[in-house]
């Protein structure tokens, strides 16, 4: 399914490295229907009359109240005028659902892994949703898009590079980091070997309701030599989140009330099982955004040599 998603994004991507929703819809033989709905859904219409090879058309039902758009917005979408990143992910998520079905004489049949241990229908649905959500970044960001945004001649990654890439891809911060994290699992693993994507950790920060900024435990892209990463990444992943005051107390750092969005520190580092086997000097940089509860920002940690 991941391979099919990568094939779809590689066919749908434009010259700017942007994947328009209309191209994905064409690839999946799907159309959008705008309706007042409680949840998004996919409907399958059987168009052919030959049982051996029925042709099908998917209809993607979108809640027009939550996403007040016109179909013309979809047809003219570009990296200059993208649909909202939330809607783009919703559409990609629903399209990814279609990959879990196969064509039979009676229509479409859901494919479930024979290795799964069925517990209940609710558990099955939850697992399907979780796996499908992992696929949507592969549909929205092609390998070629990442290769274009993170060129091999760039030695050092900056947080501004990440914000520009996110805008160019038309995705959320969560999707951007999730897609980078999938680099070594699917697609072209050589992209992760590029200097700008090596010896770095990328995550998502969030302002809490209490006014404290936290590093979220997921998603994360960790690509350090010998798989030795700063301990605070492992800590955040284990605890689901970690406040930045536990990472640095630099008064000049923007998350501590200062004006600089970059700071340097020496931290314990290691693997998830042995997180304190080394010390590492790193540069911590964050995307500058409004301090408001629930707002997210990109986090970049680079190893200093």
Contacts of 197 (CB under 8 A, 6+ apart): 150, 157, 180, 183, 191, 223
The pLDDT of residue 51: 54
User: At which residue do the structure tokens 């010896």 appear?
Assistant: 199
pLDDT interval class at 53 (50, 70, 90): low
What is the token pair recorded at 244?
A: 């930045």
CA distance 255 to 253: 6
Average pLDDT, the chain: 90
Give the mean model confidence (pLDDT) for residues 214-228: 96
CA distances from 24 to 45, 84, 129, 177, 206 (A): 18, 16, 20, 21, 31
**Cα angle for residues 149, 236, 125 (degrees, 5° grid):** 80
Q: Which two tokens stand for residue 45?
A: 């219409």
User: In this predicted structure, which of 91-105, 121-135, 175-189, 254-268 has the lowest mean pLDDT?
Assistant: 121-135
Please give the average per-residue pLDDT across 128-148, as a whole number: 90
Q: Look up tokens 């309701």; give the residue.
A: 209
Q: What stretch of H or E contains 263?
A: strand 262-270
Report residue 133's pLDDT band, with 50, 70 and 90 as the boundaries.
confident
Strands 30-35 and 56-63: parallel
What pLDDT band is residue 42 in, cutting at 50, 70 and 90?
confident
Each residue's pLDDT tens digit, 271-299: 999 999 999 999 999 999 988 999 999 99
Q: What residues contact residue 275 under an 8 Å CB cut-off, 6+ apart? A: 231, 234, 235, 268, 269
What crossing angle do the helices spanning 173-181 and 121-140 adopt, rounded to 10°?
90
pLDDT band at 166 (very low <50, low <70, confident <90, very high): very high
pLDDT at 109 over 70: no
The Cα 245–Cα 242 span in angstroms is 9
- Would the pLDDT of 82 be above 90? yes
Determine what percent of the chain is predicted with pLDDT higher than 90: 76
Helices (H), 197-274: 231-239
User: How many other C-beta atoms are found inside a 10 Å radius of the C-beta of residue 244?
Assistant: 22
- Give me the percent of the chain exceeding a pLDDT of 70: 88
User: Average pLDDT of 103-112?
Assistant: 58
pLDDT tier for residue 99 given thresholds of 50, 70 and 90: confident
**For residues 39-66, average pLDDT:** 76
pLDDT value for 52: 55
Q: In the Cβ-directed half-sphere of 233, how many Cα atoms lie within 13 Å?
A: 31
Strand segments (E) across 105-249: 107-110, 200-207, 213-223, 229-230, 241-243
Other residues' Cβ atoms within 10 Å of the Cβ of residue 16: 14
Q: Which secondary structure element, helix H or strand E, spans residue 42, and what is its range?
A: strand 41-46
Please determine, for residue 121, whether its predicted confidence score (pLDDT) is greater than 80.
no
pLDDT score recorded for residue 106? 54
* Higher pLDDT, residue 40 or 71: 71
Cα(6)–Cα(138) distance, rounded to whole angstroms? 6
Lowest mean pLDDT across 38-42, 89-93, 276-280: 38-42
More confident residue, 130 or 72: 72
Residue 57: pLDDT band with limits 50, 70, 90: confident
The predicted model gives 81-89 an average pLDDT of 96
Q: Is the pLDDT of residue 84 over 70?
A: yes
């Amino acid at each position: 399914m991941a391979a099919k998603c990568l094939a779809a994004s590689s066919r749908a991507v434009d010259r700017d490295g942007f994947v328009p929703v209309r191209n994905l819809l064409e690839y999946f033989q799907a159309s959008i229907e705008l309706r007042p709905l409680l949840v998004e859904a996919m409907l399958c219409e059987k168009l052919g009359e030959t049982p051996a090879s029925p042709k099908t058309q998917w209809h993607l039902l979108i809640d027009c109240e939550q996403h007040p758009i016109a179909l013309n917005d979809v047809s003219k979408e570009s990296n200059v005028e993208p649909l909202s990143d939330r809607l783009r992910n919703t559409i990609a998520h629903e399209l990814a659902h279609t990959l879990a079905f196969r064509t039979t004489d009676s229509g479409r049949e859901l494919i479930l892994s024979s290795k799964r241990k069925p517990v209940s229908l609710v558990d099955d649905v939850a697992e399907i949703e979780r796996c499908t959500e992992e696929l949507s970044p592969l549909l929205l960001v092609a390998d070629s898009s990442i290769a274009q945004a993170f060129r091999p001649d760039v030695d050092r990654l900056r947080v501004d590079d990440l914000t520009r890439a996110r805008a160019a891809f038309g995705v959320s911060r969560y999707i951007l980091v999730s897609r980078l994290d999938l680099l070594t699992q699917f697609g072209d693993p050589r992209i992760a070997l590029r200097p700008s994507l090596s010896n770095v950790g990328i995550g998502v920060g969030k302002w809490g309701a209490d006014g404290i900024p936290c590093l979220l435990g997921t998603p994360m892209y960790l690509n350090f030599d010998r798989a030795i990463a700063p301990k605070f990444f492992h800590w955040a992943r284990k605890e689901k989140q970690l406040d930045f005051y536990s990472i640095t107390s630099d008064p000049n750092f923007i998350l501590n009330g200062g004006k600089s969005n970059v700071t340097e520190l020496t931290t314990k580092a290691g693997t998830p099982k042995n997180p304190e086997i080394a010390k590492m000097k790193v540069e911590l940089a964050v995307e500058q955004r409004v301090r408001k509860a629930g707002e997210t920002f990109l986090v970049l940690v680079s190893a200093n040599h």
